[in-house]
Amino acid sequence: MDGNGRWAKARGLSRLEGHRQGALAAERIVRFVVKERLFPYLTLFAFSTENWARPRHEVDGLFALLESFLREKTEEFIDSGIKLLVVGDHKPLPEGLQAAIEEIEKKTAQNEALTLAIALNFGGRWAILRAAKDLLRAARSVAMGPEEVGEELFRAYLPTGSLPDMDFLIRTGGRVRISNFLLWELAYTELYFTDILWPDFDEEALLYALKDFQRRERSFGRVKG
The rounded distance, in Å, linking the Cα atoms of 22 and 221 is 36
pLDDT over threshold 70, residue 224: no
> Mean pLDDT over residues 159-182, rounded?
96
pLDDT over threshold 90, residue 181: yes
The rounded distance, in Å, linking the Cα atoms of 131 and 128 is 5
Closest alpha carbon to 207 in 42, 21, 33, 1: 33
- pLDDT digits 0-9 by tens, 105-148: 999 999 999 999 999 999 999 999 999 999 999 988 887 788 88
pTM, to two decimals: 0.93
According to the model, what pLDDT value does residue 225 have?
Answer: 58
Of 4, 51, 89, 121, the catalytic one is: 51
Show the CA angle centred on residue 28, arms to residues 21 and 182, nearest 5°.
80
Confidence of residue 222 (pLDDT cuts 50, 70, 90): low
Other Cβ atoms less than 10 A from the Cβ of 128: the count is 16
pLDDT over threshold 70, residue 199: yes
Average pLDDT taken over every residue of the chain: 95
According to the model, what pLDDT value does residue 103 have?
Answer: 97
- pLDDT digits 0-9 by tens, 52-66: 999 999 999 999 999
Cα diameter, the chain:
60
The rounded distance, in Å, linking the Cα atoms of 33 and 74 is 17
In order of their start, the domains of the chain are: 4-211 (3.40.1180.10)
The helix or strand, by DSSP H or E, that contains position 26, with its residue range, turns out to be helix 15-36
According to the model, what pLDDT value does residue 219 have?
Answer: 72
The rounded distance, in Å, linking the Cα atoms of 76 and 71 is 10
Confidence of residue 223 (pLDDT cuts 50, 70, 90): low
What are the start-end ranges of the H helices in 110-202? 124-141, 151-156
The helix or strand, by DSSP H or E, that contains position 47, with its residue range, turns out to be strand 41-48
51 among known catalytic residues: yes
